[in-house]
Structure 1
Amino acid sequence: MDGLHLTADLHDCACDLPWLLDAERLGAWCVQAVRDAGLQPVAHLFHTFPGTAEGPGGVTATVLLAESHLCLHTWPERRGVTADVYVCNFGADHSAKARALMDAVVARFAPAHSSLRSVLRGG
């Protein structure tokens, strides 16, 4: 059960608005970012939520990894994103790959402010 769980709350993102609205665009980027980090995507689900009186609907992009998962949730009306990267370290330590993936996520959205957390799981 040894693993690394990284989370990020990204605020006032300076990225182009379609990154917060377009599930297919964001999802395709997520799958490529996973591969670029050296992790293995095995399935994915990308969903755009309907808009509300507050603004356009956000996106949830989830990529199931052989090592665990990546999940992003966007709030375009707030120009915000929450991100979750979890890797199990069964058979090998994937921590550096998880950190590279989270670095890519933060760079993609270019937040003015962020809160990043790291939790060692298992034990």
Structure 2
Amino acid sequence: MKGLHLTADLYRCRCEALWLTDAQKLGEWCMAAVTAVGLEPVGHLFHAVPATAKGPGGVTATVLLAESHICLHTWPDERGVTADVFVSNFGGDHSAKARGLMFALVNRFQPEWTEQRSLDRGEEE
């Protein structure tokens, strides 16, 4: 069960609006970012959330990894994003790859500020 769980709440993102609303574009970028850091995608779902009276709908993007998962939710009306990266360290330590992926995610959205957390999961062997 040993692994690393990273979360980030991104506020007032300064990226182009399409990164917060275009499920296909964000999904393609997520897949490329996952492979760029050396993680292995095994499945994915990129869902466009319908627009509301507040404005355009956001995106839920999930990539299942051989090592675990990443998940993003965008909030275009608030220009916000929540990001979740979890890697199991079964068979090797993937922590640096997880941190590299989170770094790429944060840079993609260019937030004015973030709240990031890191949680070591499972017991030491």
Alignment of 1:97 with 2:92, yes or no, is no
| Structure 2 residue ranges without an equivalent (≥5) | none
Q: State the shift of 1:87 in Å.
A: 0.1
What percentage of aligned pairs have identical amino acids? 67
Distance 2:17 2:56 in 1: 11
1:78-117 map, 5 Å: 78-117=78-117
Unaligned 5+ residue runs, structure 1? none
2:122 matched to 1:122?
A: yes
Deviations 1:66-121 (A, max 9, x none): 00001000000000000000000001000000000000000000000100000000
Q: Which amino acid aligns with 2:11?
A: H
| Aligned counterparts of 1:84 and 1:102: Cα–Cα separation in 2 | 8
Runs of 4+ in structure 1 off by over 3 angstroms are none
Alignment of 1:1-123 (within 5 A): 1-123=1-123
For 2:115, the aligned partner's letter is S
Query: Partners in 2 of 1:37 and 1:54 — Cα distance?
Result: 36
Deviation by residue 1:1-50 (Cα, 9 ceiling, x = unmatched) = 00000000000000000000000000000000000011000000000011
Give the aligned CA root-mean-square deviation in angstroms.
Answer: 0.3
Count of equivalent residues: 123
TM-score by length of 1: 0.99
Q: State TM-score, norm by structure 2.
A: 0.98
Structure 1 CA distance for aligned equivalents of residues 40 and 56 of structure 2: 32
Distance 1:38 1:81 in 2: 23
